[in-house]
Structure 1
Amino acid sequence: MPGKIRVGIGGWTFEPWRETFYPPKWPKARELEYASGRVTAIEINGTFYSTQKPATWADWARRTPDDFVFSIKASRFCTNRRVLAEAGESIDKFVNQGLAELGPKLGPILWQFAGTKKFDPEDFGAFLKLLPTSVGGLPLRHAIEPRHESFRDPAFVAMAREAGAAIVFADAEDHPQFADLTGAFVYSRLQNAHEEVPTGYDDAALDRWAETARDWAAGRAPEGYNYIETPKGDGLARDTFVFMINGAKVRAPAAAMALIERVGR
């Protein structure tokens, strides 16, 4: 059986969505409730800038459907630093702020690096070793998103595989694309939506993303993307996360819902 495909958006608070996504006069306090009923995952981006109280995490879990999942963007204090090997204290603080309150709704953690951060094998390897495998009895899944071409190195792929971390697949004009399968799941961020298209991506593009997601879920390495190593599938089922992020953000919910129609819930 292939892995489960989840399609989502970044956050749930975005003023233009009150005109294009949420019903008229929908209470702001219930935006998460509405959004989580129409997409199957949400990437929480605000955690990049600040921590949350355990009660907040518990409330988010309470207000979302049973089969819903949050992915969480790690704090900038963990990744935006000169020496990654010294991030241990920041990583511990981030992971232990209350993530375990999400229970089974805790999805992958996204570790995103600045576009200026170059690949230093020794330092990056030390960073990966700092990532915890669990919190509060819950297993942790880690997605690594470098944004510098120096990471196009087989040594980086080997490190990610050894750590069990997924290399983030980015569909973006301004960031490199690394399509290699490394973790037990796939994490993709699609950022080339067009505002003039009601669903962000046209039908042909959405059909292609649906096919790509099904390939990932079945452990296949789809053709036509930028790999570091020679692409090869391994046939291992992988839960697959596809997030409509940035680009024409106003279209993100429509894009996510259109893709969900193609891959099923």
Structure 2
Amino acid sequence: MAGQAGVQIRVGIGGWVFEPWRGTFYPDGLAQKRELEYASSKLTSIEVNGTYYGSQKPESFRKWRDETPEGFVFALKGPRFATNRRVLAEAGASIERFFESGVTELKEKLGPLNWQFAPTKKFDAEDFAAFLALLPKKIDGLKIRHAVEVRHDSFKCAEFIALARQHEVAVVIAGDSDYPMIADVTAPFVYIRAMGTQEKEAKGYAKKALDSWAERAKLWAAGKAPKELELASKDKPPVTPRDVYLYVISGHKVANPLAAMALIERVS
């Protein structure tokens, strides 16, 4: 969905290779090599988890770019070697290797990068500031958007929100999960991971829940904020239209593509 001032709401899933999607999301008989092509015709973004576990090759990024339609974007998980460490200030070499692996071959289809932290990682203001300072704003002429997925209650504080805003890094909003939800807007875009799909619902989420997530996405895109979500800081950002990236992740994974498509219908 394109909104005011060119703002986009993009909705997708995590990855595209998942055997139970064959026959439920992917048509019977669809060749596996065409699954990305098919998924990208139904969704507007995909979050890639493989980059969290290891490096991809430049030709892989080029192939993904070529197989997807204009306007489609990939969110990439930053490598665990950068985030799963005691001293985050020492992550520089891992971050550099990640960008040297060819991520910019995606060109205009490179969406935000999600730097995911372990649920045991606690907020240390000095060390986290050092990590955020290592994240490049531009690579090979491409503007790079960063998001951090923090999963410890210690991050629910005004100091962390101020730090994220200072670096224009988004805080991933964890929806319908056991992780703390931090709904403060800290960047020129909003990044949501909705993790509550259920087997009992044909489209993963009940109609009311789908309506709610779609309405929240539209509010964030308009520069506003859902009133029912708790904030960690009393300071509010200016009302400015923002791109929104919403991924239906985890939960009852078989239904995630159907939930994402239902959300795309609602925000279009």
TM-score norm. by structure 2 comes to 0.96
Q: Report the equivalent of 1:105.
A: 109
Q: Report the equivalent of 1:72.
A: 76
Per-residue CA shift, 1:25-55, capped at 9, x if unaligned? 1100110000000000000011110111111
Per-residue CA shift, 1:191-227, capped at 9, x if unaligned? 0111111111111111111110000001101111121
Q: Which amino acid aligns with 1:109?
A: L
C-alpha RMSD of the superposition:
1.0
Matched, 1:83 2:80: no
Contact 2:56–2:101 (8 Å) recurs in 1: yes
Q: Which amino acid aligns with 1:169?
A: I
Cα distance between partner residues in 2 of 1:73 and 1:151? 20
Gaps of 5+ in 2: none
Cα distance between partner residues in 1 of 2:110 and 2:207? 31
Please report how far the alpha carbon of residue 234 of structure 1 lies from its aligned counterpart in structure 2 after TM superposition. 2.5
Structure 1 runs (4+) greater than 4 angstroms displaced: none
TM-score norm. by structure 1 comes to 0.98
| From 14, 17, 22, the counterpart of 1:13 | 17
Matches within 5 A, 1:169-208: 169-208=173-212
Matches within 5 A, 1:225-240: 225-230=229-234, 232=236, 234-240=238-244
Identical pairs, percent: 53
| From 41, 56, 62, the counterpart of 1:58 | 62
Matches within 5 A, 1:33-44: 33-44=37-48
Cα distance between partner residues in 2 of 1:195 and 1:173? 15
Gaps of 5+ in 1: none
Please report how far the alpha carbon of residue 189 of structure 1 lies from its aligned counterpart in structure 2 after TM superposition. 0.2
Per-residue CA shift, 1:128-163, capped at 9, x if unaligned? 000011111101000111000000111100110000
Q: Which amino acid aligns with 2:87?
A: V
SS state at 1:159 partner: helix
Cα distance between partner residues in 2 of 1:38 and 1:173? 25
Q: Report the equivalent of 2:138.
A: 134
Contact 2:189–2:243 (8 Å) recurs in 1: yes
Q: Report the equivalent of 1:92.
A: 96
Q: Which amino acid aligns with 2:49?
A: N
